[in-house]
Structure 1
Amino acid sequence: MTGAAAMSSLLAVEIPYWASTIIKLGVVALVVPTAALVLGYVFLLKMMSFMQSRLGPMEAGPYGTLQLLADGLKFIQKEDIFPEKADRTVFALAPLVVLVSTFLIYVVIPTGPDAVVAQLDVGIFYALAVSSLSVVGILMAGWASANKYALMGGLRAAGQLIAYELPLVLAVMGVVIQAGTLDLQKIVTAQANGEIFGWGGIGNPFIITQFVGFFIFLVAVQAETTQPPFDMPVAESEIVGGYQVEYTGFRFLFFFMGEFGTAFAFAALAAVLFLGGWALPWGDLTHWGFNIAGPVIMLVKVLAVAALIFWFRFTYPRLREDQLQRLAWKFLIPLSLVNIVVTGIFKVVL
């Protein structure tokens, strides 16, 4: 049998749907934590230290590159403590709910023509829906801890996440109107094949026409991940530490992974929705080479968005609770509605 015939026979083998799904989910389970480890090091520890004119971690590994691995091992070795009056079952499940809701977002994020776990016709709807499940885990953690400060942090987080879900969804609507689809893969294609006033040199990345939506999306993401200046649910100076104050060891590590994993998941969504995702405006988007180059292109764009998210985190002071709610209900939501109306008008006229 010739090499070409052998390759044809190999490609003709059909893998069962359940097997391919397990393989894809396994890749996500292995790649996402590894990527979060590397990206967390680059953008959390080193970026913050450079912004504050210091070196950051230097001892664990070359140039401190293994610091997060050392922190993870430290958390795993710590004692797993349950408060005496806590609901043990709910207390134990809460971090898993938060972490699973984060990993489920990655299922629909495309990094190439075929490099996606599940291409859904309602991909963006799915991503936003599963991301909102984290509030359930946060409320579980706050209530089950039998700690008034944890409960207060959980209620703060619930109010904050519910308020900023609206501008987050409305910011995406402008992109959906322009692309005419909820499929994330087709949104990528629409930007790569689009034109700006008849010129397609850079395609039509929606950040140009949806810069207002991009701004609203980033602010809402900052609040959804409870990062400064929207970190009232975990304000150490006010409520000791928020909904995770009673957690130790690997369960606290799950909350940490969920927070930063969600930040990078939303950065990936922003890259797909506004920056063209894995595609470039030239070349055959169906070519298998994009399955290799696409993840690299996507990574660069994700890093750019993540840099903005963490720059905001280390720059602005914490808002008061009333300021946070006022920003969402009186500014971001009306602005996003105006953006939808303007986008709809241009869609019809042009």
Structure 2
Amino acid sequence: MSGLTYLAQDPTLQDFGRDPWWLVLIKIVGAFVFAVLATLLGVWFERRVVARMAQRPGLNQIGPFGLLQTLADGLKMAFKEDILPKAADKVVYFFAPTISVISAVTALSVVPFGPMVSIFGERTPLQVTDVSVAVLVLLACSSMGVYGIVLGGWASGSTYPLLGGLRSTAQMISYEVAMGLSIVAVFMTAGTMSTSGIVAAQGDGTRLNIAGVDLPAPGWYAILLLPSFVIFFISTVGETNRAPFDLPEAESELVAGFMTEYSSLKFALFMLSEYVAMVTMSAVTVTLFLGGWRAPYPITLWEGANSGWWPLLWFMGKVIALVFVFIWLRGTLPRLRYDQFMRLGWKVLLPINLVWILVLAGIRTLQKEDLGTTTKALIAAGTVLTVLLVSLLWPSRPQPPKRTLQEQVNRRPTGSFPLPPMDLQVPPSPRMKRAVAEREPANAVEGEPASVGAGTGSDEKEV
């Protein structure tokens, strides 16, 4: 970590691996308890927020403000009958939910919750562990989580779960690339892949010195690297299978997707993994782009804001704010069609990210080169002019003329599924036809069919 200098409260890689065994155990248990409590409170928080968006009370019966409702639901699911499909692969079917949960919880081990603190007299970082490639550990954990979904869908021995698992695989591949490129921008700017180092690089300007070059304070990377932040957050929503990207468990298409054949505690584990992944990815986003445990302005005007146990409060507040955004998206946006979802990942997010990485690499090179101010200004102006010319001269695809509804119906291939009546009127049932025929025998003229819709309203039509 030779490129960064730290303040006294900032942990470094040398501060890890020196804790006694009981302190390491406390940290591991604390991270696990945080994941479980975040799930219980996350479900309650989501149901309350969505209810408020829909102008209804939400949970308010069991416990104060309905806080014990999710605990009651968890106990109920644990004691439900556990059904095993006959065609299921028993071993894989049993272990698939645990893979997703373990992958989501493991990612919390390299997330910094705070600075150096004192626990029972021991000076230690408020983080389970950290390595020089901690960002790659986060990517690996997010990639491993999809294995539980894929194996759960395949091992169920059913069609809908298999389709849900395949969908999850496809979207993981597409959105993992965009997420990885967003993280590339982060450690290009921070000069390290250590999570504690990335948090340190988002602090005061006196602490950032990369490759012997003094650079001004970047602040939060959500501001400095805004395109990377937006693309990363969109990718995390797709990675965690949250609405509007919850295609692997689309109720309108796949019943419950990869979870269709699961029940009881295994179903609860899949739900646990989804909410733990949502909280974990929110914590990762806070670490990489929102300054980690550092206090936001104007709290930073207080000298003790970033020391002691106070940073844990700022970190939790940022995580809750991002979880709210997850819930906000679910309560606002409709589910995307699958081809739209894949097109967004491959044709929108990926090209924008690639261009942004090239621009960022050029900016970093100009910062390190000994060029005059006039030369840098000319290069920047030329780059902007080139982008404008390319955007203006880029050939646009002509839009086909919009066809009327009748033209669209006429273009349908022969033998396709039937269409409802064009006037959207429901045809009469056989019982209605018999009732009309019994009422109109005297009115029917010989050689002319009786009106089927007679007596049903003023708009009568013959069938």
Structures share fold, TM-score greater than 0.5: yes
SS across alignment from 1:116: coil
Match in the other structure for 2:30: 27
Letter in 2 for 1:112: G
The 8 Å contact of residues 279 and 290 in structure 1, kept in 2 or not, is answered as: no
Distance 1:280 1:64 in 2: 31
The CA deviation at 1:288 is 11
Preserved CA contact (<8 Å) 1:229 1:317: yes
Which 10-residue stretch deviates more, 272-281 or 258-267? Answer: 272-281
Instruction: Indicate if the aligned counterparts of 1:124 and 1:182 stay in contact, CA closer than 8 A.
Output: yes
Aligned residue identity for 2:148: G
Task: Give the number of the structure whose alpha-carbon radius of gyration is greater.
Answer: 2
Contact 1:91 1:141 in 2 (8 A): yes
- Quick one: distance in 2 between partners of 1:62 and 1:22? 33
Q: Map 1:208-227 onto structure 2 (within 5 A).
A: 208-227=223-242
Question: Residue 279 of structure 1: which of 294, 298, 320 is its match?
Answer: 294
State the distance in 2 between where 1:284 and 1:136 align.
Answer: 46
What is the CA–CA distance in structure 2 between the aligned matches of 1:338 and 1:49, rounded to whole Å? 41
Specify the alignment match of 1:65 in structure 2.
67
SS at match of 1:204: coil
Select which of 104, 110, 113 maps to 1:111: 113
1:136: Cα distance to partner? 1.0
TM score, norm. by length of structure 2: 0.68
The CA distance in 2 between the partners of 1:322 and 1:25, in whole Å, is 41
Paired residue secondary structure (2:58): coil
Report the alpha carbon displacement of residue 19 of structure 1 after superposing the two structures with TM: 4.5
Question: Partners of 1:19 and 1:132 in 2: how far apart?
Answer: 31
Question: What do the CA deviations read for 1:304-333 (whole angstroms, capped 9, x no partner)?
Answer: 212222211221111111111111111101
Aligned match for 1:293, one of 303, 310, 327 = 310
Cα RMSD, aligned residues only: 2.4
Report the CA distance shift for 1:117/1:16 in structure 2 as closer, same or farther (over 3 A): closer
Aligned length: 333
1:95 pairs, out of 94, 97, 106, with: 97
User: Contact 2:248–2:257 at 8 Å: present in 1 too?
Assistant: yes
CA deviation vs aligned residue, 1:109-137 (integer Å, no higher than 9, x gap): 00112100011111111011111101111
Q: Secondary structure, in 3 states, of the residue corresponding to 1:133?
A: helix
SS in 1 for 2:203: helix
Which residue, out of 140, 143, 150, partners 2:161? 150
| 2:138 is the alignment partner of 1:123 | no
Deviation at 1:160, TM superposition (A): 1.0
Q: What is the CA–CA distance in structure 2 between the aligned matches of 1:80 and 1:330, rounded to whole Å?
A: 43
| CA displacement 1:199-231 (0-9 Å, x = unmatched) | 86xx61111111111110111111111111111
Q: CA deviation at 1:138?
A: 0.9
Q: Indicate whether 1:41 and 2:52 are aligned.
A: no
2:280 pairs with 246, 265, 268, which one? 265
Alpha-carbon spacing, 1:284–1:129, altered in 2? closer, same or farther (3 Å): farther
Which range moved further: 77-86 or 90-99?
Answer: 77-86
CA–CA separation in structure 1 for the residues paired with 2:301 and 2:92: 51
Looking at structure 1, the residues matched to 270 and 326 of structure 2 have their Cα atoms a distance apart, in angstroms, of 18
TM-score by length of 1: 0.89
Aligned residue in 2 for 1:234: 249
SS in 2 for 1:107: helix
Using the TM superposition, give the Cα deviation of residue 28 of structure 1 relative to its aligned residue in structure 2, in angstroms: 1.5
Return the match for 2:87 from 85, 101, 111. 85
Given the alignment of the two structures, is residue 316 of structure 1 paired with residue 333 of structure 2, yes or no?
Answer: yes
Q: 2:88 corresponds to which letter in structure 1? A: A
Distance 1:97 1:222 in 2: 20
- Kindly state the Cα deviation for residue 186 of structure 1 after the two structures are TM-superposed: 0.8
The one-letter amino acid of 1:266's match is M
Deviations 1:265-290 (A, max 9, x none): 111111111110102485999x9973
Shift of residue 16 of structure 1? Answer: 6.6
5+ long unaligned stretches in structure 1: 1-13
Identify if the C-alpha distance between structure 1 residues 109 and 284 changes in structure 2 by more than 3 Å, giving closer, same or farther.
farther
Q: 1:108 to 1:291 in 2, by over 3 A?
A: farther
**Higher mean Cα deviation, 267-276 or 306-315?**
306-315
Q: How many angstroms does 1:194 deviate by?
A: 3.3
Q: Which secondary structure state, in structure 2, belongs to the residue aligned with residue 46 of structure 1? A: helix
Q: Which has the higher contact order (CA 8 A, sep 6+)?
A: 1
Q: Take 1:336 and 1:194, find their aligned partners in 2: how far apart are those partners?
A: 27
- What pairs up with 1:239-254 in 2 under 5 angstroms? 239-254=254-269
Q: Is the 8 A contact 1:153 1:242 kept in 2?
A: yes
Q: What secondary structure does 1:140 align onto?
A: helix
Shift of 1:35: 2.6
> Which residue in the other structure is 1:6 paired with?
none
Q: What is the alpha-carbon distance in structure 2 between the residues aligned to residue 115 and residue 284 of structure 1?
A: 21
Give percent identity, aligned residues only. 35
Equivalent residue number for residue 184 of structure 2: 173
Displacement, 1:23?
3.0
